[in-house]
């Protein structure tokens, strides 16, 4: 067991939660809708799927037989968490897009067993997720402090509290793949700025594979992913007084072989004239017209190393599951070598 190298944290309750959403978040949704629904090829960023219902639907997706990424990533964590704890000596874990932190517990267990774990800092746009997981984890891990940050990891990274010792920043679930290549590198650079010498980034990425396997993972037989996809229209109806009928749209998931990413789209079943009340915006869909709601990039080792290098990060460990479906990479700032 490693002794803890944590600096003493100032006295604080077991749970602290900061919220950086509210009016600003509504503005971001409004801006994204105004921008994305007036383009020649309509598009919305995937972060708007995740209201409480969207987060619950995503949780159900994680248990679907077709959705292998969650199981694969969990198996890598189970196999490697002890080694990760040993290499990093982390006293705290910051998790971006933490959701229910289901897999995170594997890592927390290993850090606790190593005797270093002091604090967990979940960062997510879904308020209920951050609050629920803070309550659950402080009861599951006596003595653990949780400092939850309800916010957008594209805009609020500067609100993450200063570190109290070696830190792992975890970005699991393949969420980095939701960004197209240019933005992906920008986001990675911003995340890398959170890392001091001695800190590590632990990132999950889905790997390029048989397109049939990939497409099935985003178009399950029970239709849960279709509901998740349509949920963004429920969000627009509720948050911006829009009048979409989600049932007017088919769920589409396809693998773009050239870009090596999955696209989720909503395809209009008929011609639609809708209105977004709060923006006084008329939105027209031709029959068959599509709205792109998510990309999920798939990685090769070369793609990943290129992205990490562009953020001045160097690979420390490249870990995959037994079937080579998913990768977990541990990297650190090049300057710390
Ligand atoms: C694909 S899920 C992954 C959840 C979990 N990390 C896992 O591995 O199962 C993406 C998570 O990131 C959150 N999220 C998406 N975009 C976000 C953003 N821009 N800022 C903060 N959280 C975001 C969602 O609310 C959701 O919990």
Among protein residues, the one whose CA lies closest to atom 12 of ligand 1: 97
Among protein residues, the one whose CA lies closest to atom 9 of ligand 1: 173
DSSP 8-state symbol, 21: -
The residue behind tokens 């196999």 is 79
Q: Which atom of ligand 1 is nearest to the CA of 126?
A: 25
Strands 261-268 and 290-297, by their bridges, are antiparallel
- pLDDT (tens, 9 = 90+) of the chain, 337 residues, equals 444 566 776 667 899 999 988 765 666 899 999 999 999 999 999 999 999 999 999 999 999 999 999 999 999 999 999 999 999 999 999 999 999 999 999 999 999 999 999 999 999 998 999 999 999 999 999 999 999 999 999 999 999 999 989 999 999 999 999 999 999 999 999 999 999 999 999 999 999 999 999 999 999 999 999 999 999 999 999 999 999 999 999 999 999 999 999 999 999 999 999 999 999 999 999 999 999 999 999 999 999 999 999 999 999 999 999 999 999 999 999 975 4
Total H helices, total E strands in the chain: 9, 14
CA of 61 to the centre of ligand 1 (A): 13
Would you say the CB of residue 104 lies under 6 angstroms from ligand 1?
A: no
DSSP 8-state symbol, 66: T
Among protein residues, the one whose CA lies closest to atom 19 of ligand 1: 152
Tell me the sheet residues that pair with 245.
Answer: none
Give 244-262 pLDDT, tens digit per residue.
999 999 999 999 999 999 9
CA of 247 to the centre of ligand 1 (A): 25
Distance separating alpha carbons of residues 24 and 29, to the nearest angstrom = 9
221 SS3 class = coil
CA of 191 to the centre of ligand 1 (A): 15
Query: Quick check: 266 and 233 in contact, CB under 8 A?
Result: yes
Would you say the CB of residue 173 lies under 6 angstroms from ligand 1?
A: yes
Strands 290-297 and 42-43, by their bridges, are parallel
Give 224-236 pLDDT, tens digit per residue.
999 999 999 999 9
Would you say the CB of residue 126 lies under 6 angstroms from ligand 1?
A: yes
């Amino acid at each position: 067991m490693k002794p803890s190298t944590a600096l003493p944290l100032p006295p604080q309750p077991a749970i602290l939660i900061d919220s950086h959403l509210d009016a600003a978040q509504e503005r971001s949704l409004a801006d994204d809708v105004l921008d994305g629904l007036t383009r020649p090829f309509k598009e919305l960023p995937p972060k708007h799927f995740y209201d409480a219902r969207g987060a619950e639907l995503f949780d159900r997706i994680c248990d679907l037989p077709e959705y292998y990424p969650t199981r694969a990533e969990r198996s890598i964590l189970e196999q490697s968490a002890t080694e990760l704890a040993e290499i990093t000596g982390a006293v705290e874990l910051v998790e971006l897009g933490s959701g229910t932190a289901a897999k995170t517990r594997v890592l927390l267990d290993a850090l606790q067993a190593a005797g270093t774990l002091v604090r967990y800092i979940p960062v997510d746009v879904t308020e209920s997720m951050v609050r629920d997981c803070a309550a659950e984890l402080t009861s599951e891990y006596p003595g653990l402090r949780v400092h939850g940050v309800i916010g957008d990891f594209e805009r609020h990274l500067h609100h993450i509290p200063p570190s109290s010792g070696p830190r792992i920043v975890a970005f699991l679930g393949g969420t980095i793949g939701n960004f197209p290549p240019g933005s992906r590198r920008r986001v990675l650079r911003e995340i890398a700025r959170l890392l001091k010498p001695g800190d590590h980034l632990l990132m999950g990425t889905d790997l390029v594979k048989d397109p049939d396997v990939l497409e099935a993972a985003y178009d399950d037989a029970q239709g849960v992913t279709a509901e998740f996809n349509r949920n963004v229209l429920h969000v627009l109806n509720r948050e911006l007084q829009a009048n979409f009928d989600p049932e007017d749209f088919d769920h589409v998931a396809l693998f773009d072989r050239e870009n090596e990413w999955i696209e989720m789209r909503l395809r209009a079943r008929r011609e639609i004239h809708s209105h977004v009340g709060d923006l006084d915006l008329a939105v027209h869909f031709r029959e068959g017209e599509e709205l792109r709601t998510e990309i999920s990039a798939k990685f090769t080792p070369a793609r990943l190393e290129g992205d990490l290098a562009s953020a001045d990060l160097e690979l420390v460990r490249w870990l995959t599951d037994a079937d080579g479906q998913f990768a977990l990479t541990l990297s650190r700032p090049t300057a710390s070598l």
